Chains A and B, each alone.
Chain A
Amino acid sequence: MRSYAKYLAQRLAQCLLVVFIGINLTYAITHATPIDPVEQSIAAVTAFGNTSPEAIGMMRQSLRELYGLTGGPLEQYVNFWRRIAIADFGPSLSAFPTPVSTLIARALPWTIGLLVTATLITWTLGNLLGGLAGYYQDKRSLKIFAVIAIGLHPVPYYIVAFVLLVMFGYLWPLLPIAGGYGMNIEQGFNATFALSVLKHSILPALSLMLIGLGGWFLGMRSLVSNVVSEDYVVYAELAGVDGRRILGSYVMRNALVPQVTGLAMSLGAVFNGAIITEQVFGYPGIGSLLVSAVYAGDYGLVLGVTTISIIGVSAAVLIIDLVYPLLDPRVRVA
């Protein structure tokens, strides 16, 4: 128990160090961006309006003060960590004065809802079918499925997404191709909204599943293929243990451990958002928010999204590290 506590402390310290370094790197990179948020704002104001050059000069200075860009680099860095400590990322520069945390809180549920659901379904299906394909290696239907999964796996994601768009948005316009839910529907806990969300999530989720399924399938199939030749499996078969029980309790359960690690990593990466998915399907979420923030030079928002992502991935890795010795007795912490 003592050794586990020591292990826990070490892993926790490592996690905090990773988060600290990650956030600092992001801070350095975002502040090195050649995009000036003040110039972006000025361009947006003046692109369509009659504003004199004198007024622009005055506006430029005002915006620097308003956006808090007038202090020295050290002062800005210290202020940044002071705000991070209380989970305040400051105002968004491209949606001033709305706080970054408000924008992230609005976008995050969409991303989590879509990606967690798609990841869990893909993981479950992929592992189940992969396990079956590894165990029943002569089954024709599973062989056909393997060909499809292997065939789809290397196809670039955007191609699959675009094909789905054209198929179900144009050739057979059965499903909506943009947005998280239909127009003129009130967000809230009601059946109309829930059904609309479900309908709008089918295409983006399907695109993620079609591409993701192959990876889990192939991984599980090869893991199971190795496990079935283990002595304890052969012994169980010779002892006349039921085939389904061998598959479930002897083979898949043991093969599943590395897949659980992969699942945790995937769930942690949910906080990165699915940028291409959200862009292609016009789905609201953290990925689209990040892209628009980068283009606007809104480094407060970029930092906010990235920090959430760093913490998400680090937390997932930490949880795996902590749970792994409990899941797999072969792993010892001493």
Chain B
Amino acid sequence: MKLRVSWLLAALFAVLALAASSREPLAQGALANLPRNETLILENPEGTIKNAGWFNIWAINAGSQSNGLQQAALDTLWYIDPNRGLDGVWQNSLASEKPVYNADFTQMTVKLRRGIHWSDGVEFTAADVVHTVATQIKHKNMRWSAALTLTVDAMETPDPYTVVFKLKKPNSRFHALFTVRWAAIWIMPKHVFEKVEDPLKFDFNKPVSLGAYVLHNYDPDGRWYIWRLREDWQRTTIARYGKPGPKYLAYIDPGPPDKRVIAQMNHELDVIHDVAPEGMFTLAKQSKSSVSWFKGFPYAHPDPTLPALIFNTQNELFKSRDVRWALALLIDIKAVSMASYRGAATISAIGIPPTGTHPEFYHAPLQDWLTAFEVDTGKRKIKPYDATVGRQIADMLRPSMGEQIPTDPKTIAASFGMGWWKSDPQAATELLEKAGFKKVGNAWQTADGKPFTVRVVVEGESRPVMTRAGSMIAEQWRRFGIDAKVDLAQGTLVTRRAAGDFDTMISWSVETWGGHQDLSYFLDSWHSQFVAQPGTPQPPRNWQRWSHPELDKIVEDIRKVGFDDPKSLELGREYVKLVAREMPIIPLMSYNVFTVMDTTYWTGYPTADDPYTDPVPNWGNSRAMFVRLKPKT
């Protein structure tokens, strides 16, 4: 008996040792009945979907959005790529040309592409566009009901391939509603929805596609979705760039970051949406087949989003520009970069994310202005900008990261950012004293003699990188004698942000197109007409509740010029200068996403060397990746 048990144990250890030595993932086979070399497996960052069988994207948050539905199955009029684009950042998708406005921006005409078909064979026409808008105006609780009700007065279809929108008031950016940055108003199939009595209660299962893929199978428990390339993919808009490489797309929930790393090492996950910096470093070191946006440090793709220290400017303490500037000058951005992204951050001193085409349009041309820019501390004028901070971060990392740190100044600027504000406690002291604050012992007091207490609201474990940034900033303020405390919001962040229940917060109120210089995407909402009274909810995105007459003028002037008008770039630069002077938010860095791609089965992923699109797989734009991916031979 003892002998038999020994033999069994020996056999078991032999199998385990063999498995370990071969590093062949025996657990594979997760994809039953699908050829692995024809399947691209991507992470859906929405996780496991509660309501898996719901594909009606026009109902608010009823089902998943980035399970492949918006990337592979739906389509709309235009796309703006956050990077360079397949043939430029602007893509006419269902529209055959750019939007045409009348002189006073009260009418927009759209010419539609011909020969595009829904997956059930019905041709796409202007009737689909009109039905998409009319349905959402008629049913007030749909995703874009409010936006369309407020803007669209009437629609006309002079022919099946032309739609004329008559607007309720001048709106030079109306087309943005139908232009994909991450998403947009997707076009619904009229021939399906016109038969539905209540579109809010219709699950649209099985979805009829306008994109190149159709639903093949999905998990009723919401962990995976599989999409199959249409037989007639040539009758979709993406076909003009060629045949998509993968026959199947599997969008899955691979679980927490550590499991994503394991899954990619086992070659069971081709595209990781995001991992913690530590996970990225592990993959860079141990997985030879994994690639990222940058070849080496900082690896991550910078999203056109600007994490910042946001002041609640309706709080008495932060109404003073001097106080806001003092707090900015107490930040050592190099330490914040190390604490948050372990150095893999792309910093920005100005109110624009350093990503896409922005460095070319904003950061680089404004370097001279920033270097000459002065702040009056009340005792002297200082020049706070240090154009070498990006380079300093690279130098700091080089001893430990070696060759992974670039040496070329241009690459350093693209990877780590350009300059930032010098840490200057003496100037901060002078600015606080100018605002009436005083230091008693080791502690700062406000002008009315109370302790200078600042809460820094952070999201917590669900966003660890930003939480670490906030903790480091609070620590730096504390060292200076300010009673700074980290306030963990966890799931309440969204509610508290809207309610204005914070002193300062790590979040973002700046999101841009990335690939286009126009700033109206976020800036229009910063007009003072939208600033809520204290105690009432603030609409996105001016979470700082900041208003300024000069800002209003800039926003109003942008509204009067066309989207591509060079004047909008000039006005954008005026905005940058105003934010630098007033500091309503302290810009920190771009939102770097550690998207990691496995080249075991697929090649041709977008990278900084070939930035044809955004690799982050939940973006609508990531469909551009499908046509460039090739099976690895």
Question: Which residue numbers of A lie inside 8 Å of B, CB to CB?
Answer: 34-36, 39-46, 48-60, 62-63, 65-66, 92, 94-98, 103, 106-107, 110, 162, 165-166, 168-180, 182-187, 192, 196, 279-282, 284, 288-289, 292, 294-295, 297
Most chain A CB atoms below 10 A, which of B140, B521, B524 = B140
Min Cβ gap B35→A in Å is: 11
Query: What are 7 A-B contacts with C-beta separation under 8 Å?
Result: A50-B176, A56-B540, A95-B51, A173-B28, A177-B262, A280-B256, A288-B48
How many angstroms from the CA of A289 to the CA of B32 in the assembled complex? 26
Per-position 1/0 for B49-78, Cβ under 8 A of A: 011001000011111000000000000000
Contact call B491/A173, Cβ cutoff below 8 A = no
How many angstroms from the CA of A97 to the CA of B50 in the assembled complex? 12
Determine whether B539 belongs to the interface, using a CB cutoff of 8 Å to chain A. yes
Contacts of A172 in B (CB 8 A): 16, 19-20, 26
Contact call B259/A289, Cβ cutoff below 8 A = no
Determine whether B382 belongs to the interface, using a CB cutoff of 8 Å to chain A. no
Q: Which of A53, A183, A288 is in CB contact (< 8 Å) with B540?
A: A53
Contact call B30/A96, Cβ cutoff below 8 A = no
A97-B145 contact in complex given A40-B494, A280-B256, C-beta closer than 8 Å: no
How many angstroms from the CA of A48 to the CA of B511 in the assembled complex? 9
17 more contacts with CB within 8 A, not counting A44-B60, A103-B50, A284-B221, are: A35-B494, A39-B495, A51-B144, A53-B540, A58-B145, A58-B150, A103-B51, A107-B221, A169-B27, A170-B265, A178-B263, A179-B219, A180-B223, A182-B30, A282-B223, A284-B223, A289-B50
Chain B, Cβ-Cβ closest to A37:
B495
Per-position 1/0 for B173-213, Cβ under 8 A of A: 10011010111100000000000000011000000000000
How many angstroms from the CA of A333 to the CA of B251 in the assembled complex? 59
Contact call A55/B29, Cβ cutoff below 8 A = no
Min Cβ gap A125→B in Å is: 17
Contact call A45/B143, Cβ cutoff below 8 A = yes
Count class of interface residues, chain B: 35 or more
Contacts of A43 in B (CB 8 A): 494, 498, 540
Chain B, Cβ-Cβ closest to A187:
B220
How many angstroms from the CA of A45 to the CA of B221 in the assembled complex? 23
Contacts of B250 in A (CB 8 A): 183-184
Contact call B492/A180, Cβ cutoff below 8 A = no
Q: Which of B143, B254, B265, B539 is in CB contact (< 8 Å) with A282?
A: B254
Contact call B59/A179, Cβ cutoff below 8 A = no
Contacts of B524 in A (CB 8 A): 52
Chain B, Cβ-Cβ closest to A282:
B255
How many angstroms from the CA of A153 to the CA of B521 in the assembled complex? 55
A173-B266 contact in complex given A50-B177, A178-B255, C-beta closer than 8 Å: yes
A52-B150 contact in complex given A59-B145, A97-B201, C-beta closer than 8 Å: yes
Chain B interface main SS type: loop
Contact call A95/B62, Cβ cutoff below 8 A = yes
In the complex, the 10 A-B pairs of residues with the closest C-beta atoms, listed nearest first: A48-B182, A53-B539, A95-B51, A53-B530, A58-B146, A55-B146, A56-B539, A282-B255, A284-B221, A55-B147
Contacts of A53 in B (CB 8 A): 525, 530, 539-540, 542
Min Cβ gap A273→B in Å is: 14
Per-position 1/0 for B524-547, Cβ under 8 A of A: 110000100000010111100000
Contacts of A60 in B (CB 8 A): 537
How many angstroms from the CA of A307 to the CA of B263 in the assembled complex? 36
Contact call A35/B492, Cβ cutoff below 8 A = yes
Min Cβ gap B1→A in Å is: 12
A282-B48 contact in complex given A173-B25, A174-B19, C-beta closer than 8 Å: yes
Contacts of B407 in A (CB 8 A): none
User: Which residues of B from 210 to 266 have beta carbons under 8 Å from A?
Assistant: 216-217, 219-224, 226, 250, 252-256, 258-259, 262-263, 265-266
Contacts of A295 in B (CB 8 A): 462, 491
Min Cβ gap B458→A in Å is: 16
Determine whether B633 belongs to the interface, using a CB cutoff of 8 Å to chain A. no
Determine whether B33 belongs to the interface, using a CB cutoff of 8 Å to chain A. yes
Contacts of A178 in B (CB 8 A): 223, 253-255, 259, 263
Q: Which of B34, B61, B149, B263 is in CB contact (< 8 Å) with A58?
A: B149
Q: Which of A49, A107, A196, A297 is in CB contact (< 8 Å) with B495?
A: A297
How many angstroms from the CA of A182 to the CA of B61 in the assembled complex? 26
Contacts of B11 in A (CB 8 A): none
Chain B, Cβ-Cβ closest to A174:
B26
Min Cβ gap B499→A in Å is: 8
Min Cβ gap B372→A in Å is: 35
Per-position 1/0 for B497-517, Cβ under 8 A of A: 010000000000000000000
Determine whether B31 belongs to the interface, using a CB cutoff of 8 Å to chain A. yes
Determine whether B141 belongs to the interface, using a CB cutoff of 8 Å to chain A. yes
Contact call B19/A63, Cβ cutoff below 8 A = no
How many angstroms from the CA of A153 to the CA of B30 in the assembled complex? 32
Contact call A170/B494, Cβ cutoff below 8 A = no
A62-B184 contact in complex given A56-B540, A95-B51, C-beta closer than 8 Å: no
Chain A, Cβ-Cβ closest to B498:
A39
Chain A, Cβ-Cβ closest to B223:
A179
Q: Which of A41, A50, A177 is in CB contact (< 8 Å) with B521?
A: A50
How many angstroms from the CA of A48 to the CA of B184 in the assembled complex? 8
How many angstroms from the CA of A192 to the CA of B266 in the assembled complex? 23
Contact call A183/B226, Cβ cutoff below 8 A = yes
How many angstroms from the CA of A56 to the CA of B536 in the assembled complex? 13
Most chain B CB atoms below 10 A, which of A40, A66, A170, A182 = A170
Min Cβ gap B155→A in Å is: 18
Q: Which of A55, A196, A284, A294 is in CB contact (< 8 Å) with B150?
A: A55
Contacts of A170 in B (CB 8 A): 262, 265-266
How many angstroms from the CA of A9 to the CA of B560 in the assembled complex? 77
Contact call A94/B530, Cβ cutoff below 8 A = no
Min Cβ gap A110→B in Å is: 7
Min Cβ gap A95→B in Å is: 4
Q: Which of A39, A96, A183 is in CB contact (< 8 Å) with B32?
A: A183
Chain B, Cβ-Cβ closest to A185:
B32
Contacts of B34 in A (CB 8 A): 183-184
Contacts of A98 in B (CB 8 A): 50-51, 54, 62
How many angstroms from the CA of A182 to the CA of B250 in the assembled complex? 12
A62-B140 contact in complex given A45-B61, A52-B150, C-beta closer than 8 Å: yes
How many angstroms from the CA of A168 to the CA of B16 in the assembled complex? 9
Contacts of B262 in A (CB 8 A): 165-166, 169-170, 177
How many angstroms from the CA of A96 to the CA of B150 in the assembled complex? 24
Contacts of B33 in A (CB 8 A): 184
